[in-house]
Amino acid sequence: MPAFSLEPEQTAWCAELRTLAAERLRPLAEKGEPGRVNRPLVAELGRLGLLARLFTSGALDLCLMRESLAQVCTDAETALALQGLGAHPVHAHGTPAQREHWLPRVADGGAVAAFALSEPGAGSDAAALSLTARPDGPGRWRLTGEKCWISNAPEADLYTVFARTTPEAGARGVTAFLVPADRPGLTGAALEMLSPHPIGSLDFDAVPVTADDVLGEPDRGFRVAMGTLNLFRPSVGAFAVGMAQAALDATLAHTARREAFGGRLSDLQAVAHRVAEMALRTDAARLMVYAAATAYDAGAPDVPKRSAMAKLLATETAQYVVDAAVQLHGARALRRGHLLEHLYREVRAPRVYEGASEVQRGIIAKELYAHLEAR
């Protein structure tokens, strides 16, 4: 891969996104109800053209959007990302009719999308999912089972749902379905989480689906899921980098002005070295995220490994940086409403969702040994 750096136009666009987030998105985010889909915020993302850009941009643009928004408004970043995650399978694998009906509505913020893969017994082991698609005549199935920890559930308008169509076939027996929220037999409930995002469980009681609802091909849905995750994993890293940068910026400002022990905190070598380490790790993670996204856009053969590395390094880095920022701010950072109190709750989940850190290490090792055998 060639050496990587942002073009001036890209840098300017990121600055513009941060301004939009501060002026138009954050006020809407602050009015939202915790744990519920903020539809005015989603609609504003649509009016700004950011949701439509999810379907016309590459992985690097997606990373730049998520990092820039995360620095200023994590709620806006998450709303944007969930629209992309839920609807990307429709964009990449949907029929012309599916795409024509749903993508314009997702792009303008009128329809909320969700990606329904995880289950109570199949979180990290996604291939072990047990939501069953039982045959119900030619080209027809009934979905029975449960999904859990689904972002935007149970309030989404459409779900990309992964179900088992061939028993005991592992990853090769999974089919992706586009399931509108108004299908009979589909119900759900909200879950209360550490960070109050819209997330819930879904219950499928013989929900009817047909061949017209299939995304891609029957029994090939696991490829739909993994292809989506390979695209979005680097951008989860970008989200983490954005949070790390926000924590670093706050720490620089605080330590430069805070008086303690006869001088500024920044005059203390222990503090200065800690801040330097925070900056070092944040920049290293950013570069790995950009490199993984560039590899995806270039069609490189090692995208799964690069995507896993980017997500792993960036999310672990963000956890370190935010924790260090809290430590250097002291008790004030633990007060409800403080930026770092917010980031401290936000930063934990990305190390779990879309493949926990341990899963990413497994992917990396698998790809390394596969490359060794191929040589």
Residues taking part in catalysis? 354
Amino acid sitting at position 217 = E
Token look-up 């920049």 returns 283
Amino acid sitting at position 319 = Q
CA 134, chain centre distance (Å) = 30
Rounded CA-CA distance 142/213 in Å is 12
Rounded CA-CA distance 35/225 in Å is 25
Closest CA to 21 of 56, 66, 57: 66
Yes or no: say if 332 and 326 are a contact pair by the CB < 8 Å rule.
no
**Helix, coil or strand: residue 4:** coil
Q: Which two tokens stand for residue 302?
A: 């090692």
Residue partners of 101: CB distance under 8 A and separation at least 6:
none
Rounded CA-CA distance 155/138 in Å is 31
Rounded CA-CA distance 332/326 in Å is 8
Token look-up 């570069």 returns 287
Residue partners of 371: CB distance under 8 A and separation at least 6:
302
